A and B are shown apart, each in its own frame.
Chain A
Amino acid sequence: DKKTVPDLINTYEWTHQLSQAGFIAAPVSCFKHAPMADSWDNITVGMKVEVENTDCDNFSEDFPDSFWVATVLRIAGYKALLRYEGFGQNDAKDFWVNLCSSMVHPVGWCATRGKPLIPPKTIEDKYKDWKDFLVKRLTGARTLPSNFYNKVHDNLKSRFRCDLNLEVVDKNKISQVKVARIEKIVGKRLHVCYYDARPDDNDFVRKEELSGNSSTENKCTRRTNKLRRYCQPPEGFWCHEDSPLIHPVGWAKRVGHKLDAPREYIDHCAKGLRDKDDATEDLFPLPYYVPAGCVPFEAGMKLEAIDPLNLSAICVATVKKILNEGYLMIRIDSYDDESATTSDSDWFCYHMTSPCIFPVGFCEMNDLPLRPPKDYSPETFTWTDYLTLTGARPAPAHFFNREIPNHNFMLGMRLEAADLMDPRLICVGTVSRVIGRLLKIHFDGWEEDYDQWLDCESPDIYPVGWCQLVAHKLEGPPSPMKN
């Protein structure tokens, strides 16, 4: 019982929401990085499975556990509403299960283990000949493949292992990456520890170290403090293994990104040496190949970008520096004056193909609020005036990634999402806007200020039931009492 694991105490259960009218979970197949996503379309309503029969006498010496066949009536993420076979239209014993849990089996599983199917007590007298009934109900029906759980198990394995070294965006100085070590892995989410981490290191960006975005610092601190009332204290930094925030050993040197690392690490990389615990490139998603000299962006160009320190805002931004292999250093124009901050400490690295950067006019075209540069108000800001005043050139629209995958996310779909301002937290959320491939994720029960703009292929969003599947705590909506 995963609920007895200390980390999972008070984990949120979707169960009471699943049957509510209008509840729609984003299908597992929408989340490419999620276990079983590539074969989830084969999981269908009407499918038959074998599950524990809880409608029976509590104890029998001959059969300590009892199983029966059930039909999948509804699917919501990894969860399925089941009805025991033979109940007809009677929904009295319907129940929700996680289809990837070890409690659900393909039809035939019981026989391979010598366990007989025993009809539930409610219907045990309904038929005289259960064999005839089962033959009629099961012949031609669909069930799970016999290796379903091997597949689930394989799909849950991370490419990484604990103790590997890698380069991770420094949460306290976003313009640099820092050497870190993988401490723990849960559901392909890596808990990494910076090489110089202090014992009291927290996930959220520390107030005194944030460079010039006071609204974000207050937001992070406020939310974390709220959650801390009923959460374990945060430690280290969490991200998914496909996150663009992590890189192999040697990446910073290769692309020309700032690096914070011990002297011996820098020397090691300079010599092209690798340690057995160094994360190598093959562990990371294949980078988009951009040949040298083929980056059309130029320093000084203006664009619109998701604020890496406040994912609810799309902002006026500037390309500050071109790195190798198509990486760009970008600065959000609404941050404090550069002269008032520590030089380039608030620049952030986006790849030129990132779905989180947009051409000038993207927000206006999609009727989205655009956060203007510092000292401008949304009412008075116009791109035309700003470009004239700054003498800057807008990055042309064809420089940007314009591909829109056929993602199938729709407004109102429910999911589980990492709070990227405190990424050890996975919270219940709702797709509140869909703009092409861009999704706005609303955290249920929280103000809109906490919403996050994420790409439809973000590895930080998961189907309903993912936390339960990987044994990660799920944060429910804040209860009014606790607030």
Chain B
Amino acid sequence: MTDTKTRKWEQKQVQIRTLEGEFSVTMWASGTDD
């Protein structure tokens, strides 16, 4: 999904690892991944 306001930001699932275990969160990353 892309931020329609700026078209610069992309929503992505980010993996987090803690001592208790691993989970994912949804964050925005600036759209330079391509």
Contact = CB atoms under 8 A, between A and B. Distances in A.
Interface of A: 39, 41-43, 48, 106-108, 110-112, 114-118, 130-131, 134-135, 138-148, 151
Given A42-B8, A111-B22, A147-B33, A134 B16 contact: yes
Contacts of A43: 30
B18 interface: yes
Contact of B18 (A131, A144, A146): A131
B29 A141 contact: no
B25 to A, nearest CB: 4
Given A110-B17, A111-B17, A115-B17, A144 B25 contact: no
Interface residues of B, number: 21
A145 B16 contact: no
Given A106-B14, A140-B27, 20 more contacts: A39-B30, A41-B8, A107-B25, A108-B14, A111-B16, A114-B17, A116-B18, A116-B19, A131-B23, A134-B18, A135-B23, A138-B25, A140-B28, A141-B27, A142-B9, A142-B27, A142-B28, A144-B30, A145-B32, A148-B32
Contacts of B4: none
Contacts of B27: 48, 107-108, 138-143
Given A134-B16, A135-B23, A145 B28 contact: no
Contacts of A118: 18-19
Contacts of A39: 30, 32
12 contacts: A42-B31, A42-B32, A111-B14, A116-B18, A131-B18, A131-B20, A134-B18, A134-B25, A135-B23, A138-B14, A141-B27, A148-B32
Nearest to A150: B32
B2 to A, nearest CB: 13
Contacts of A108: 14-16, 27
Contacts of B8: 41-42
A42 B10 CA distance: 11
A151 B32 CA distance: 9
A108 B17 CA distance: 8
A131 B14 contact: no
Most buried by A among B9, B15, B21, B25: B25
